[in-house]
């Protein structure tokens, strides 16, 4: 089945039969469960916009493998222009959803795996790249949604995988058979996994010889026996079950609906295995995935920030403070920060280069700078939104209070803003700001695509500090002194 429309996508999820738990209970049909519907709606935009003529150039591409037009979320970047269109697309979809639309992680995993399997085959004479290319053709033709399985829970982080008390704290190979492998373990914080079709598992860190069983890359249908998902709680997630006003962003929800995925002795046939013990390439795969994913953040977070700026401006208008100079100044600062993170994504894309596989790859130093800026600027954008909106953001009554026959009149009266603006509409805008700048959204901006320290580690590796010291010495007229050793 080729998934083209939202209806196709929802039908494919309904028929999938994968195992998902919410609040301790198995969900029989995620397409009708209020906890999942907003996330499904957000992901659906990646299908709907590919069918819209005005977005065709951004949301679709021509496959370099088949020559067919495909959804861009299944495309391998072939040019610098592809890298730039990726960022532009993410901002455009964020304008439609105001939330995470979830397919970026799998897209980045496809690209990172494509590049790295080529390199593994060049060194070891394996056939991983051929296998992966066939898998990719299937994903492109069916337009299935893939989640990129990078993060393991890691247990005691002072110890490598093979020294953990429980080996399943990292996903690993349990058994190698003639027809495939058996794997066990987990992947955590998996954005969009509950409403995805496949997971592309990757190693979570550089692996050494002793951890070669953890140097694993493979593709697993999420409906496979032994795979189950546990949906994570989100800030104010109960509001999905209530009225639309309290929800804030009722149609598209909050962030991406992350799950903990458990692999309990799951069989994977060899044709779906793309790294199995080649620990020398585990770090490269991680680095490539991380760079591709960090490239995204100025696009999607720039788009989300555009919505926050608009909502903040409306909140100021509704309460009569829009004309104040300090409000105008804060809105200008929010715009500056938004365009700063967006320009980072565009710059790392524009400075991208071709890899030996033929796929294009963003500049890794600039991609890491982009994500580091997001970890800071999104918090400042949220802080300024809170500043302008005021304390009411944290103390608004329930939607049912507004609708109450007994007390609704008081909520209507005392939460009124400027004449001509309904109290309900004011509350709706404030709830949208609350939804988009709350705890879960900010934590994802901090830790998604790697925590801030991981970007600083990459600075040390990529910033050519020795070269910079040599340039400084040259201008200062300092000759290298003889070694005292």
Q: Is residue 258 among the annotated active site residues?
A: yes
Q: Which of 464, 462, 248 is nearest to 348 (CA)?
A: 462
DSSP 14-77: HHH--EEEETTEE-S-GGG-TTTHHHHHHHHHHHHGGGSGGGHHHHEEE-TTT--EEEGGGPPP
Which of 9, 114, 297, 361 does the annotation list as catalytic? 297
DSSP 345-396: HHHHHHT-EE-TTS-EE--HHHHHHHHHHHHHHHHHHHHHHHHHH-THHHHP
Helix, strand or coil, per DSSP, at residue 146: strand
CA distances from 475 to 7, 441, 472 (A): 64, 46, 5
Cα(461)–Cα(470) distance, rounded to whole angstroms? 17
Of 96, 399, 434, 444, the active-site residue reads 444
Query: Residues 73, 65: contact at Cβ < 8 Å?
Result: no
Q: Does 134 participate in catalysis according to the annotation? A: no
Give Cβ neighbours of residue 375 (< 8 Å, ≥ 6 apart).
445, 446, 452, 455
Please say whether the beta carbons of 83 and 295 come within 8 A.
yes
**297: annotated active-site residue:** yes
Q: Binding residue per annotation — 126?
A: no
75, 172, 293, 377: the catalytic one is: 293
Q: How far apart are CA 415 and CA 396, in angstroms?
A: 9
The closest of 420, 394, 421, 398 to 411, measured between CA atoms, is 398
Is residue 444 part of the annotated active site? The answer reads yes
Count the neighbouring beta carbons within 10 Å of the beta carbon of residue 57. 12
Output the CA torsion sign for 245, 249, 250, 251. positive
**Residue corresponding to tokens 């920030």:** 305
Among 206, 375, 389, which residue's Cα sits nearest to residue 297? 375
Name which of 440, 413, 438, 437 is nearest 424 in CA terms: 413
Chain Cα centroid distance, residue 451: 13
Catalytic residue among 117, 191, 204, 437: 191
The count of C-alpha atoms lying within 13 angstroms of the C-alpha of 247, restricted to the half-sphere facing its C-beta, is 17
The Cα angle at residue 300 between residues 365 and 64, in degrees rounded to 5: 75
Q: Please say if 104 is a catalytic residue.
A: yes
Give me 277's structure tokens. Answer: 């013990």
Active-site residue identified among 39, 75, 100, 437 = 100
Q: What backbone torsions phi and psi does residue 236 show, to the nearest 5 degrees?
A: 55, 35
Residues flagged as binding site: 191
Would you name the residues annotated as active-site residues?
100, 104, 191, 258, 293, 297, 300, 444
Residues flagged as binding site for FAD: 191
């Amino acid at each position: 089945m080729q998934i083209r429309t939202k209806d196709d996508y929802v039908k494919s999820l309904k028929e999938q039969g994968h195992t998902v738990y919410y609040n301790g209970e198995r969900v029989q049909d995620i397409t009708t469960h209020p906890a999942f519907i907003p996330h499904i709606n957000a992901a659906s935009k990646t299908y709907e916009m590919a069918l819209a003529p005005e977005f065709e150039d951004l949301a679709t591409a021509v496959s370099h493998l088949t020559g067919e037009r495909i959804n861009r979320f299944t495309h391998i970047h072939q040019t610098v222009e592809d890298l730039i269109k990726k960022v532009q697309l993410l901002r455009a979809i964020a304008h439609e959803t105001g939330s995470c639309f979830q397919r970026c992680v799998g897209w980045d995993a496809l690209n990172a795996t494509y590049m790295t399997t080529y390199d593994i085959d060049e060194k070891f004479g394996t056939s991983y790249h051929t296998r992966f290319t066939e898998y990719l053709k299937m994903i492109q033709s069916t337009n299935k949604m893939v989640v990129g399985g990078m993060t393991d829970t890691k247990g005691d982080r002072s110890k490598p995988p093979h020294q953990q008390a429980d080996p399943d704290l990292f996903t690993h190979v349990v058994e190698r058979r003639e027809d495939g492998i058996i794997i066990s373990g987990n992947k955590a914080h998996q954005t969009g996994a509950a409403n995805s079709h496949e997971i592309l598992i990757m190693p979570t860190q550089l692996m050494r010889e002793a951890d070669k069983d953890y140097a694993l890359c493979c593709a697993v249908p999420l409906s496979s026996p032994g795979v189950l998902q546990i949906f994570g709680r989100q800030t104010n997630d109960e509001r999905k079950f209530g009225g639309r006003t309290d929800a804030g962003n009722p149609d598209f929800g909050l962030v991406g609906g992350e799950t903990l995925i458990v692999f309990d002795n799951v069989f994977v046939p060899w044709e779906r295995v793309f790294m199995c013990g080649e620990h020398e390439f585990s770090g490269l795969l991680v680095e490539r995935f991380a760079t591709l994913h960090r490239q995204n953040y100025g696009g999607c977070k720039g788009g989300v920030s555009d919505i926050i700026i608009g909502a903040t401006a409306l909140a100021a208008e509704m309460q009569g403070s829009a004309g104040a100079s300090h409000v105008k100044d804060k809105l200008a600062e929010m715009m500056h920060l938004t365009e700063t993170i967006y320009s980072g994504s565009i710059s790392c894309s524009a400075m991208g280069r071709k890899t030996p596989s033929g796929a294009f790859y963003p500049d890794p130093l600039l991609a890491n700078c982009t994500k580091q800026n997001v970890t800071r600027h999104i918090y400042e954008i949220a802080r300024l939104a809170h500043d302008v909106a005021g304390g009411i953001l944290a103390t608004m009554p329930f939607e049912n209070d507004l609708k109450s026959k007994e007390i609704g009149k008081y909520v209507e009266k005392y939460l009124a803003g400027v004449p001509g603006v309904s109290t309900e509409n004011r509350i709706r805008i404030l709830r949208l700001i609350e939804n988009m700048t709350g705890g879960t959204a900010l934590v994802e901006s901090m830790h998604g695509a790697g925590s801030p320290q991981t970007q600083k580690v990459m600075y040390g590796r990529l910033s050519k500090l020795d070269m910079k010291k040599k340039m400084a010495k040259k201008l200062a007229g300092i000759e290298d002194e003889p070694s005292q050793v």
